[in-house]
Amino acid sequence: MSKKYKIAHISQTPLVAAPSKIAYAQRLAGHSSVAIALKDYPSTLQGMFVEDFLIENEFTKPLIEKAIYSADIIHIHNDIPPEWAKRLLETNQRAKYVYQVHSPLREGPLYVPRHQSIDLPFVLKFVVGQFQPRIHVDHIVVPNIFLDIPSIEPRKEGEKLRVMFSPTHRRPGRWNNKHTDELDSAVNALVALGKIEIVMPENPVSPKILMSARRTCHVSIDEIATGGFHQVSIEGLAAGNISINKADYFSKRVFSNFSSGIMPPFLYADGSTISSVLNRLADNVDETVKRQYESFEYFKTHLTPIKMAGIFDEAYESI
């Protein structure tokens, strides 16, 4: 059994709850772990991802101070302002400081490592193991963690293929882009032909509601633009969905470090093939169900929160 730590995760925003999910999984594994966000998201995303965070106010300030002061490990996510770096060092010079990047600061040709502008004595650097290891080669690869219990609703004979597509805004760049016009065209055409049923929220909804909807589907479409993949693909596996993305060999091989070397059962598609892939699944219930069970079993076997927390344990113990 690994040593048990007191851990403080700190991020500027909730980062779609990624730090709090790590903290939760670490508590399941016996650690004392807390997530602190400097502020919530504004406007439509406000309140959606802060359920398990401490955000500083008059009541939480002493809790945050105590968590920082007593921490064995202070785990910084993406970026924090200089005044917070100073505050952390003034409060706790005994802790080991580690850094985790979730997304690149800028797109090429210039990549700016965020940790270099944070005045803290980092002894470890982590990077989320999807596409980012390509541009953060001196970082330890770690997983995104998904907390929900896996489930599956296999497609029935005569049932239309039910597809979840939760599109994000366009982002220019090699690694941040999550949108293709071909996907819009393919989905619209197949819906018009009566081949698929699309589940697509028109406005932002909470992660719990989105996951509840995903559990009723057979397919989750992630982005098919970059050669990587995102949290959507992991959520799809947990919901017993076929996760469609453009993840290439490198992205899947890196991710297999978390699953005993076994590659995730994603279904590949790009802009030129997405229409034919969806059409084939729509016409073949047996293939749909087979792939749904592959997703479900993969998540249940390899991606449980306690197993994922163990990857962070191994890295922490190296220091």
Compute the mean pLDDT over every residue in the chain, rounded to the nearest whole number. Answer: 89
Within-domain flag for 181: yes
Mean pLDDT of 139-163: 94
Tens of pLDDT, residues 93-110: 999 999 998 876 554 555
pLDDT at 182: 82
pLDDT at 196: 95
pLDDT at 319: 85
| 124 and 176, same domain (yes or no) | no
| 37 and 138, same domain (yes or no) | yes
**β partners of residue 33:** 7
CA angle 174, 226, 289 (to 5 degrees): 165
pLDDT at 202: 80
The answer to whether 101 touches 114, Cβ cutoff 8 Å, is yes
Higher pLDDT, 293 or 117: 293
**Domain containing residue 173: CATH number:** 3.40.50.2000
pLDDT at 174: 46
Q: Comparing C-alpha atoms, which of 101, 102, 73, 103 is closest to residue 88? A: 73
Within-domain flag for 265: yes
Pairing of strands 140-142, 73-77: unpaired
| 114 and 185, same domain (yes or no) | no
Within-domain flag for 155: no
Higher pLDDT, 205 or 136: 205
pLDDT at 166: 79
Rounded-to-integer distance, Cα 313 and Cα 262, Å: 21
Confidence class of residue 169 from pLDDT cuts 50, 70 and 90?
very low
Judged by average pLDDT, the poorest of 56-65, 104-113, 259-268, 297-306 is: 104-113
Tell me, what DSSP letter sits at residue 222?
-
Rounded-to-integer distance, Cα 157 and Cα 104, Å: 44
| 170 and 229, same domain (yes or no) | yes
Structural domain total, the chain? 2
Q: Whole domain around residue 245: which residue ranges?
A: 161-302
Tell me, what DSSP letter sits at residue 3?
P
Mean pLDDT of 212-238: 92
Identify each DSSP E strand in the chain by its residue range.
6-11, 32-37, 54-55, 73-77, 96-101, 122-128, 140-142, 161-165, 196-199, 219-221, 242-245, 267-268
Rounded-to-integer distance, Cα 306 and Cα 258, Å: 12
Q: Provide the residue type at 228 as one letter.
A: G
| 120 and 206, same domain (yes or no) | no
| 135 and 173, same domain (yes or no) | no
Residues whose CB falls within 8 Å of the CB of residue 110, separated by 6 or more in sequence, listed in order = none
| 264 and 184, same domain (yes or no) | yes
Rounded-to-integer distance, Cα 130 and Cα 72, Å: 28
Q: Provide the residue type at 318 as one letter.
A: S
Higher pLDDT, 11 or 135: 11
| 104 and 182, same domain (yes or no) | no
Tokens 């899947």 appear where? 252
| 237 and 249, same domain (yes or no) | yes
Within-domain flag for 57: yes
pLDDT at 107: 47
Report, in angstroms and rounded to the nearest whole number, the Rg of the chain calculated over CA atoms: 20
pTM here is 0.88
pLDDT over threshold 50, residue 1: no
The answer to whether 179 touches 170, Cβ cutoff 8 Å, is yes
| 38 and 54, same domain (yes or no) | yes
**β partners of residue 55:** 37
Q: Comparing C-alpha atoms, which of 218, 239, 225 is closest to residue 269? A: 225
pLDDT over threshold 60, residue 199: yes
